[in-house]
Copies of this chain bind each other. A is one copy, B any other.
Amino acid sequence: MKNLISRIGHYVDIGGDKFNPLDKLNHRIETRRPGEDIVRVGEKVDSVFVIESGWAIRFRILDDGRRQILNFMLPGDCFDMMAMVKAKSDHAVSAVTQVILRRISSSDFLSAMSQNASLATAFWWVGVQEEAILREQIIRIGRRSAKERVAHLLLELNRRLAAVEGRESDTINLPIPQALLADSLGLSIVHISRTLSKLRAAGYISTNPSGVDILDRKGMAEMADFDSHYLHLDKLKLSA
């Protein structure tokens, strides 16, 4: 929960450091191994989830096997807040790495929201941010070239991770195979590989087994037309 608190703490003051209103919430800690489902398609969702650690994806698989990843869920992200109205999920969520997550029943969540205005505001912000990320994803895959898409996504992940970890870093720990980048960006695996090597050749990044290093953030951001503003991280006080 620390992650979530550290994130929404940037937006709203949630009643002092020591006292965590979320702790009063009924919740259950669950874990998933890499590849395991968290929410299946068609499943009735009656809980809100918060990722404690690890990476997960929200995605949809078409009949012929094509897969589209809607977005990546990082530590501190929460999801299915919207689905609290007894709807069946139209997409699946599954763990990419080992994932620890917190499950809160929708009704508990709702009553907590209604009793604590600043908590509600904080989660509202999280929802605003999530919607912004979805919109940016549409623009990315709708109107950007492969090179721009990959660069843009890498920068987004970097910013989001920085927001969670509370510190700047040019190193992106990417615990995911290139296939996931492909299915997120609407490209083929092969082309992701080629595009990454172009980004390397251009001096924007270097890659290593555990992830990517950003060598020229400014140049890459300009090339990919990346503006971190949409993440609403403005007020983010990265710890000194």
Among B60, B124, B125, B135, point to the contact of A70 (Cβ < 8 A): B135
Task: Determine the chain B residues whose CB is within 8 A of the CB of A186 once the complex forms.
Answer: 141-143
Among B125, B141, B225, point to the contact of A138 (Cβ < 8 A): B141
Assess whether A143 is in contact with B68, with CB atoms less than 8 Å apart: yes
Most buried by B among A67, A139, A141, A183: A139
Per assembly, the copies of the chain total: 2
A70 to B133 alpha-carbon distance, docked (Å): 12
Given the contacts A62-B225, A143-B186, A138 and B68 also touching, CB distance less than 8 Å: yes
Name the residue on B nearest A148 (C-beta): B62
Interface band, chain A: 35 or more
Q: Does A105 contact B (CB under 8 A)?
A: no
Assess whether B132 is in contact with A66, with CB atoms less than 8 Å apart: no
Assess whether A143 is in contact with B62, with CB atoms less than 8 Å apart: yes
Task: Determine the chain B residues whose CB is within 8 A of the CB of A85 once the complex forms.
Answer: 121, 124-125, 128
* Contact mask for chain A residues 119-163; partner B; CB cutoff 8 A; 1 contact, 0 none: 001001101100110111111011110000000000000000000
Nearest chain B CB to A117 CB, angstrom units: 9
Given the contacts A62-B143, A68-B142, A143-B68, A82 and B131 also touching, CB distance less than 8 Å: yes
Nearest chain B CB to A211 CB, angstrom units: 23
A121 to B124 alpha-carbon distance, docked (Å): 15
Task: Determine the chain B residues whose CB is within 8 A of the CB of A2 once the complex forms.
Answer: none
Task: Determine the chain B residues whose CB is within 8 A of the CB of A144 once the complex forms.
Answer: 62
Task: Determine the chain B residues whose CB is within 8 A of the CB of A136 once the complex forms.
Answer: 90
Given the contacts A62-B225, A131-B134, A139 and B83 also touching, CB distance less than 8 Å: no
